[in-house]
């Protein structure tokens, strides 16, 4: 049977169409820079890539072009051949600890949770509605990023805030990118040929998070109540002193919505570099000597190192650090910047191995105290597996 996995990020839309249960990929691709100048999409069929530069003002347009490609390239003769569509959903709060078939109530809950994931859940809802309209006979399934992190203890997921805020309003840390953290931690355990492991998984891209995974279960993660917490990201500030918010509101007259928009869409490396929220642009500018881009890279690496060091202590050591996602998989420059800062822990980089791309790759030196791996994430196959199980 054919199952479509859809992974809508804040500025991207990844997809893969599978023949299941063989997990054979019939077509895959990614729509990039959605809502950003220079948008484009790339698709891959039988090893051949096709690239198109097109306006992508929103995720609805990306999904429309996706269904067009499936039909025009004869991947399917009719969209009804697709029996299931799995949607990566960033925020499920504590409503869902596993994947679930989407009905009107689930869709409403996803939309109602948008204030907790303002860059993602609205995009997910648009994709779900478009998929329901385009492929009405397919089973639509929500696969939640928050599910993997439900194994955190209250001592890790609670904030030191009035306890009734948690009881009445569910204010707590949820964590995100769970499907990716779960996939790469499973892969790392396969490589190590054991499950009693201490892993630090680094999903770093335009959005980013780091997780501490003990024996296959998440015990801590850098994102919090929303995906705005933790690392510095493409356009998100990450961790800040909360009193900055009322201070700037008082000085500028900005509303809380104005501030929220700045924290999510006008901060991060975009704000520091003054160039772009895309790390490729910033890295190129840094290598060319642009001082603000160099500063953005340094700040970003420092925040990643902060969390790796914290989880190294919490885990009581580390068998392996895993890099994945856009920056983690594709930036030797940023990986070196991060790993070099971990030398005090005895973690060392194999610079020649670090320059290789596009595969599972050990990049730590032979005398490194912990292994360091690059493992390309595959959230899409995890999504397809969950859809298949529900079908």
65-93 burial code (b ≥16 CB/10 A, e <16): bbbebbeeeebbeebeebbbbbbbbbbbb
Residue 153 lies in a domain: no
What local confidence, expressed as pLDDT, does residue 233 receive?
97
**Which of these, 379, 369, 365, lies nearest to 329 by C-alpha position?**
379
Question: Going by C-beta distance under 8 Å and a sequence separation of 6 or more, which residues neighbour residue 122?
Answer: 111, 114
Distance CA 292, CA 276 (A): 11
**Shared-domain flag, residues 135 and 183:** no
- Is a pLDDT exceeding 90 seen at residue 36? no
pTM listed for this prediction: 0.85
- Measured CA distances, 250 to 237, 243, 259 (Å): 20, 11, 11
Residue 171 lies in a domain: no
**Shared-domain flag, residues 98 and 200:** no
Distance CA 319, CA 127 (A): 38
Cis geometry, peptide bond prior to residue 70 (ω within 30 degrees of 0): no
**Shared-domain flag, residues 51 and 187:** no
- Measured CA distances, 204 to 102, 166, 225, 252 (Å): 29, 29, 18, 33
Work out the mean pLDDT of the chain and round it to a whole number.
Answer: 94
What value does the mean pLDDT take over residues 80-88? 95
Distance CA 249, CA 343 (A): 41
- Give the strand pairing for 13-19 and 2-8: antiparallel
Distance CA 19, CA 381 (A): 11
Which of the residues are catalytic? 145
Q: Which of 92, 119, 144 is the last residue in one of the domains?
A: 144
- Is a pLDDT exceeding 90 seen at residue 306? yes
**Shared-domain flag, residues 187 and 318:** yes
Residue-number span of the structural domain to which 313 is assigned:
178-374
- Structure token digits, residue 335: 């990986």
- Is a pLDDT exceeding 90 seen at residue 83? yes
Q: Which residue has the higher pLDDT, 351 or 61?
A: 351
Beta bridge partner(s), residue 208: 204
Confidence band (pLDDT; 50, 70, 90) for 159?
Answer: very high
Number of neighbours of residue 322 by Cβ within 10 angstroms: 26
Measured in degrees and rounded to the nearest 5, phi and psi for residue 24 equal -80, 125
Residue 152 lies in a domain: no
Q: Residues for the chain: how many in total?
A: 391
**How much of the chain exceeds pLDDT 70, in percent?**
100
**Shared-domain flag, residues 133 and 11:** yes
What value does the mean pLDDT take over residues 200-205? 97
Distance CA 248, CA 246 (A): 6
Residue 384 lies in a domain: no
What local confidence, expressed as pLDDT, does residue 362 receive?
98
- Is a pLDDT exceeding 80 seen at residue 119? no
Q: How many folded domains does the chain comprise? A: 2
Confidence band (pLDDT; 50, 70, 90) for 11?
Answer: confident
Q: Note whether 233 and 265 are within 8 A (CB).
A: no
Count the alpha carbons within 13 Å of 155 in the hemisphere toward its beta carbon.
2
Beta bridge partner(s), residue 82: 2
Q: Minimum mean pLDDT among 116-125, 179-188, 206-215, 228-237: which range?
A: 116-125
Confidence band (pLDDT; 50, 70, 90) for 391?
Answer: very high
- Is a pLDDT exceeding 80 seen at residue 10? no
Q: Which helix (H) or strand (E) holds 209?
A: strand 208-214
Confidence band (pLDDT; 50, 70, 90) for 332?
Answer: very high
What value does the mean pLDDT take over residues 16-29? 95
What value does the mean pLDDT take over residues 69-81? 92
Give residue-wise pLDDT tens across range 37-69.
Answer: 999 999 999 989 999 999 999 888 888 899 899
**Shared-domain flag, residues 118 and 182:** no
Give residue-wise pLDDT tens across range 249-298.
Answer: 999 999 999 999 999 999 999 999 999 999 999 999 999 999 999 999 99
- Is a pLDDT exceeding 90 seen at residue 357? no
- Could you tell me the CATH number of the domain that includes residue 81? 3.30.420.40
Residue 382 lies in a domain: no
Place of tokens 């990049």: 363
Distance CA 181, CA 159 (A): 23
**Shared-domain flag, residues 311 and 188:** yes
Question: Going by C-beta distance under 8 Å and a sequence separation of 6 or more, which residues neighbour residue 133?
Answer: none
Place of tokens 């980013």: 208
> 254: helix, coil or strand?
coil
**Shared-domain flag, residues 343 and 246:** yes
Residue 28 lies in a domain: yes
Residue 117 lies in a domain: yes
Q: Note whether 85 and 111 are within 8 A (CB).
A: no
Confidence band (pLDDT; 50, 70, 90) for 386?
Answer: very high
- Structure token digits, residue 215: 């024996």
Question: Going by C-beta distance under 8 Å and a sequence separation of 6 or more, which residues neighbour residue 217?
Answer: 151
DSSP 150-168: GGS-HHHH--SS-HHHHHH
Place of tokens 């599978």: 18
What local confidence, expressed as pLDDT, does residue 7 receive?
83
**Shared-domain flag, residues 255 and 350:** yes
Question: Going by C-beta distance under 8 Å and a sequence separation of 6 or more, which residues neighbour residue 249?
Answer: 255, 256, 259
**Shared-domain flag, residues 116 and 194:** no
Distance CA 283, CA 33 (A): 16
- Measured CA distances, 262 to 70, 97, 300 (Å): 37, 31, 18
Distance CA 307, CA 305 (A): 5
| Angle at CA of residue 332, ends 328 and 335, nearest 5° | 55
What value does the mean pLDDT take over residues 9-18? 87
**Shared-domain flag, residues 138 and 233:** no
What local confidence, expressed as pLDDT, does residue 115 receive?
84
């Amino acid at each position: 049977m054919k199952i479509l996995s859809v992974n809508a990020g804040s500025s991207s839309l990844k997809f893969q169409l599978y023949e299941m249960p063989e997990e054979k990929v019939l077509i895959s691709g990614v729509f990039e820079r959605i809502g950003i100048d220079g948008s484009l999409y790339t698709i891959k069929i039988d090893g051949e890539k096709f690239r198109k530069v097109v306006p992508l003002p929103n995720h609805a347009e990306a999904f429309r072009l996706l269904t067009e490609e499936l039909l025009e390239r004869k991947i399917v003769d009719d969209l009804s051949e697709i029996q299931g569509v799995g949607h990566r959903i960033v925020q499920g709060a504590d409503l869902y600890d596993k994947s679930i078939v989407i009905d009107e109530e689930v869709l409403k809950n996803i939309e109602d949770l948008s204030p907790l994931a303002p860059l993602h859940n609205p995009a997910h809802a648009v994709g779900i509605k478009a998929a329901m309209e385009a492929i009405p006979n397919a089973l639509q399934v929500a696969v939640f990023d928050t599910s993997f992190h439900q194994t955190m203890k209250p001592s890790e997921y609670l904030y030191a805030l009035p306890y009734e805020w948690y009881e009445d309003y569910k204010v707590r840390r949820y964590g995100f990118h769970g499907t990716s953290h779960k996939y790469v931690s499973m892969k790392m355990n396969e490589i190590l040929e054991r499950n009693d492991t201490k892993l630090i998984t680094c999903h770093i891209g335009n959005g980013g998070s780091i997780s501490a995974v003990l024996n296959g279960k998440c015990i801590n993660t850098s994102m919090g109540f929303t995906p705005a917490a933790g690392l510095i990201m493409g356009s998100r500030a990450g961790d800040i002193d909360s009193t900055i918010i009322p201070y700037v509101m008082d000085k500028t007259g900005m509303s809380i919505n104005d501030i929220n928009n700045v924290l999510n869409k006008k901060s991060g490396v975009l704000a520091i570099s003054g160039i772009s929220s895309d790390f490729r642009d910033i890295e190129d500018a840094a290598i060319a000597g642009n001082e603000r881009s160099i500063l953005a890279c340094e700040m970003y690496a420092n925040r990643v190192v902060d969390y790796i060091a914290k989880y190294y202590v919490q885990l009581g050591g580390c068998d392996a650090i895993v890099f994945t996602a856009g920056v983690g998989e594709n930036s030797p420059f940023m990986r070196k910047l991060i790993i070099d800062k971990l030398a005090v822990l005895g973690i060392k980089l194999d610079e020649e191995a670090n320059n290789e791309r596009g595969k599972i790759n050990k990049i730590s030196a032979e005398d490194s105290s912990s292994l360091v791996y690059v493992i390309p994430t595959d959230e899409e196959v995890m999504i397809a597996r969950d859809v298949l199980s529900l079908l």
